């Protein structure tokens, strides 16, 4: 099997499939989100992945089912390789391929488990890697209709395996954190998730978590690769994007207050800095199509 990541974008509304190969480690990855589901498979290296309100300390063979609209960012240890396979796909594509009586709902694990990790070993790991490698090979010939059709079949086979693995994994205990630092960072994220809409200060975290605020700041940056307030602002902006997509009757000002900004002008500046456009521009760009 050829090592190295494959990033597959099965988004039929734009490009049907897009595959990129990158064998180089990464640094300074930014928080991001996207309107696709994601299958993330970790092949090797050292990485802590922050996905929504969860920290995953990854091991080779970890496969993560991800709702792409959840804020996520990998923190890769410097000087280490970072080998992974990423599959992005629009759930509408899968629904169009499985719309048949008595068909298994292969999207159920994504919808119900949200951001969920499965650790693969032995035959399961070999089977997943075989399929992902096959999908990469078929993509390179996907201009051919037959190869593209075979790619979709291999993709469905992977989804069926994931569905089966999730059923047999029910009740499995979550892996323990390797050190207190990851546990403390998770506690910080849990607190921010409950209170991100409020006016927050380090002193509050210090009081609630019973740890020195300077120590909290240092360990959070070490574990996640981001400062506490960089994470907080990204969390607020990402929630604003969700409101603009789902709660279209809310004004920009209402959304800014709803996600924890005290001043709409500050919200607009932060949104443009992080997203690349103003909140109004984002809403217009993502407005639903009106049928004539």
Pick from 286, 287, 236, 244: nearest CA to 263: 236
State which of 114, 139, 168 marks the end of a domain.
Answer: 168
State which of 109, 135, 168 marks the end of a domain.
Answer: 168
pLDDT of residue 28: 58
Question: pLDDT by residue (tens digit) across 98-138?
Answer: 877 657 899 999 988 889 999 999 999 999 999 999 998 88
Domain count along the chain: 2
Q: What is the CATH number of the domain that holds 64?
A: 2.60.120.280
Pick from 225, 290, 244, 169: nearest CA to 31: 225
Higher pLDDT, 256 or 168: 256
Query: In which domain, by residue range, is 249 found?
Result: 181-285
What one-character-per-residue DSSP string does 87-146 give?
EEE-HHHHHHHS-STT---TTHHHHHH-SEEEE--HHHHHHHHHHHHHHHHHHTTTTSHH
CA atoms of 212 and 202, how far apart (whole Å): 9
Q: Are 83 and 61 in contact (CB under 8 A)?
A: no
Question: pLDDT by residue (tens digit) across 40-90?
Answer: 999 999 999 999 999 999 999 999 999 888 999 999 888 888 899 999 898
Could you tell me if 112 and 198 lie in one domain? no
Could you tell me if 189 and 121 lie in one domain? no
Structure tokens at 275: 């997203």
**Mean pLDDT confidence for 254-266:** 96
Q: In which residue are the tokens 């984002």 written?
A: 282
CA atoms of 166 and 267, how far apart (whole Å): 39
Q: Are 264 and 253 in contact (CB under 8 A)?
A: yes
Q: What is the CATH number of the domain that holds 247?
A: 1.10.10.60
Higher pLDDT, 125 or 36: 125
Q: In which residue are the tokens 């480690």 written?
A: 25
30: pLDDT strictly greater than 50:
yes
Q: Are 3 and 84 in contact (CB under 8 A)?
A: no
Could you tell me if 95 and 211 lie in one domain? no
Q: Are 115 and 51 in contact (CB under 8 A)?
A: yes
State which of 108, 138, 168 marks the end of a domain.
Answer: 168
């Amino acid at each position: 099997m050829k090592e190295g990541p494959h990033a597959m974008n099965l988004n039929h509304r734009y490009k049907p499939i897009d595959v990129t190969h990158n064998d180089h480690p990464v640094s300074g990855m930014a928080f991001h989100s996207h309107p696709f589901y994601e299958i993330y498979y970790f092949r090797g290296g050292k990485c802590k992945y922050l996905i929504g309100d969860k920290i995953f300390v990854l091991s080779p063979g970890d496969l993560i089912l991800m709702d792409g609209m959840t804020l996520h960012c990998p923190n890769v240890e410097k000087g280490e390789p970072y080998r992974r396979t990423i599959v992005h796909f629009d759930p509408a594509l899968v629904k169009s391929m499985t719309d048949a009586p008595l068909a298994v709902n292969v999207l159920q694990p994504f919808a119900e488990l949200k951001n969920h990790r499965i650790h693969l070993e032995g035959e399961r790991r070999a089977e997943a890697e075989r399929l992902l490698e096959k999908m990469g090979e078929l993509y390179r010939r996907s201009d051919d209709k037959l190869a593209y059709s075979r790619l979709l079949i291999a993709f469905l086979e992977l989804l069926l395996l994931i569905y089966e693995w999730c059923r047999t994994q029910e009740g499995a205990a979550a892996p323990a954190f390797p050190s207190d630092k990851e546990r403390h960072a998770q506690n910080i994220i849990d607190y921010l998730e409950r209170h991100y809409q409020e006016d927050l200060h380090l002193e509050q975290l210090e009081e609630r978590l019973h740890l020195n605020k300077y120590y909290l700041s240092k360990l959070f940056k070490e574990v996640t690769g981001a400062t506490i307030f960089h994470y907080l602002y990204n969390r607020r902006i990402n929630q604003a994007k969700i409101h603009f997509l789902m709660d279209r009757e809310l004004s920009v000002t209402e959304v800014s207050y709803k996600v924890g900004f005290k001043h709409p002008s500050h919200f607009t500046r932060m949104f443009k800095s992080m997203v690349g456009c103003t909140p109004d521009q984002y809403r217009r760009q993502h407005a639903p199509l009106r049928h004539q």
